[in-house]
Structure formats: structure tokens, C-alpha cells
Amino acid sequence: MRSGVNTICRLLQEHEKWSFGWIPREANFAAHNLAKWCINSTKFGEICLSDLPSDVALCDHAGSLSQPP
């Protein structure tokens, strides 16, 4: 793990415009579901919004999709 942290620190020094920020889970829910859909689909590259299922395209908070128990 330490080597990974060292690599990240080195890359941040080389790329001064890069930054990290904490995103609350609630704000990242749509991105998570989009990434999960992309992994499970046969789509790659640019994806049109019309190609997404409505439950992914319209999801903007954790309560908009049913979660497994």
C-alpha cells in the first residue's frame, strides 16, 4: 500500500493541476451506478444518454433505485 501512496504523491507533484477531493456517498450514487452499468454492458467509449436504461439515466440520489436488502 505504501508504494501506491508514494506513486500517487509523486504523480501529484508532477501534475500540479491534479487534485483529490472527498465526495459523499449520496453525491456519488449516480456515478457509481453508471460505472456499474458500463461494466456490465457491451457499450464502451462515448455513450449516448438515450442508450442508458432510465433507472441509470435518471438516478441522482440513493433513494431513486431500489437497493438490495
Q: Could you read off the pLDDT tens digit of each residue along the chain, which spans 69 residues?
A: 888 999 999 999 999 898 888 888 777 888 888 888 888 988 778 888 888 888 887 776 555 444 444
> Could you tell me if residue 30 is inside a domain?
yes
* Total domain count, the chain: 1
Is residue 9 in a domain? Answer: no
Range of the domain at 69: 23-69
Longest dimension (CA), the chain: 44
Hey, how many other C-beta atoms are within 10 angstroms of the C-beta on 59?
Answer: 20
pTM of the model: 0.47
Rounded-to-integer distance, Cα 69 and Cα 58, Å: 22
- Asked whether residue 12 is domain-assigned, the answer is no
Phi-psi region of 45 (alpha: psi -120 to 50; beta: other; left: phi over 0): left
